[in-house]
Each structure stands twice: as C-alpha cells, then as structure tokens.
C-alpha cells in the first residue's frame, strides 16, 4: 500500500456557476412605470399627448391653433411569479462554500429568464411581424435595410429599435 491515506480530499471554496444564455428582451423594454406598481392586479394608467400638427408659416396670415388631444394606455399587472428554496440551518453553517449566495444568483437568473421568455412571447402583439428569412451573405445588408425602412415608415422611434440575432 502506498501513501494514499496522506493525500487529502480537496473541496473548492467556490461554487460552479452554470453557463447561462443571455437575457435579451427584458433588457430592451420600457421600465419607466415599475416604481408605481405595488402588487399583482394593479393597473397603471399612462397618459400621453396626441400628435402636434406643424403648419407652414406665411407672413401676415392667420395661424391655426390646435387643441391638444390626449390618450391613455393601461398597464395591468397580470403576471406574478415567485421562487422559494430552503437550506437547513445546520447546512447553512457547515457548507463550504456558503450556498445561499449561489442559490440566490441562480434564482434571480431563473426568474429573469422566465420574464424574458414571457416578453419574447408577446412580440406578435406588437404589430407587424416578419416571417423567417433565408439570408445569404449578399442579402444581409439588403434585409436589414428593408427592416429599417419598414420601421421608418411606421414612425418607430430610432432609440428603441433592436434586432435579436441567434448564433
């Protein structure tokens, strides 16, 4: 028999973090009204001002004054998700590395992924959708240009545009 009894078993002081896909959709949505939401079932009324007309000015002629119009959108909180786990008190004290931080990180990612998938499922409600394209090397720029043109013609603000492209 050799010296196997003298070779210690080593446990890492770090938790392994699984490879995670990037969350795409949740990072590009409008979150301006989150602070006004307190519970499931809440409805936030979001007011907006209608379009303002621009006229051509002609010297010494009457100016047409526009009455402002308003509109309102309703944001109803109709989703409620949770996560729950437990760690025995003795395990919490004795485990090395401490598992609570790792478990919280995994739980935060899991709920973030659930939110991201829900948002991705709403894309058909956004208006026109594009069917899958077979894209050749030479047609990539043409397809992107056509998408930009369609968004421009629909008056979509340039600051909120994004295109998720899978690997």
Question: How confident is the model over 64-121, as pLDDT tens digits?
Answer: 999 999 989 898 989 889 999 999 999 888 888 888 888 999 999 999 999 889 888 8
How many Cα atoms are found within 13 Å in the side-chain-facing hemisphere of 111?
A: 11
CB contact burial 10-46 (16+ within 10 A = b; e otherwise): eeeeeeeeeeeeeeebbeeeeeeeeeeeeeeeeeeee
Mean pLDDT for 3-13 is 78
Q: Flag whether pLDDT at 167 surpasses 70.
A: no
What distance lies between CA 106 and its chain's CA centroid? 18
Q: Which residue has the higher pLDDT, 107 or 159?
A: 107
Please write the tens of the pLDDT for every residue from 25-65: 887 788 888 888 888 889 999 999 988 999 999 999 999 99
Q: What is the pTM of this model?
A: 0.64
Q: How confident is the model at residue 8 (pLDDT cuts 50, 70, 90)?
A: confident
Query: What's residue 92's pLDDT?
Result: 85
Query: CA separation (Å) from 74 to 36, 88, 104, 110, 124?
Result: 13, 44, 33, 28, 18
| Pair 115, 81: CB distance under 8 Å | yes
């Amino acid at each position: 028999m050799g010296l196997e009894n003298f070779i210690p078993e080593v446990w890492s002081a770090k938790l392994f973090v699984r490879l995670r896909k990037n969350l795409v959709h949740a990072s590009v949505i409008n979150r301006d009204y989150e602070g006004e939401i307190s519970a499931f079932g809440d409805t936030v009324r979001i007011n907006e001002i209608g379009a303002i007309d621009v006229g051509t000015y002609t010297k010494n002629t009457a100016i047409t004054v526009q009455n402002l119009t308003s509109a309102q959108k309703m944001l109803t909180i109709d989703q409620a998700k949770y996560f729950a786990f437990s760690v025995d008190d003795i395990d919490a004290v004795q485990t090395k590395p401490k598992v609570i931080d790792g478990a919280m990180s995994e739980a935060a990612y899991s709920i973030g992924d659930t939110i991201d998938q829900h948002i991705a499922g709403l894309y058909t409600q956004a208006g026109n959708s594009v069917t899958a394209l077979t894209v050749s090397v030479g047609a990539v720029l043409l397809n992107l240009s056509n998408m930009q043109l369609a968004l421009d013609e629909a008056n979509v603000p340039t600051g909120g545009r994004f295109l998720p492209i899978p690997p």
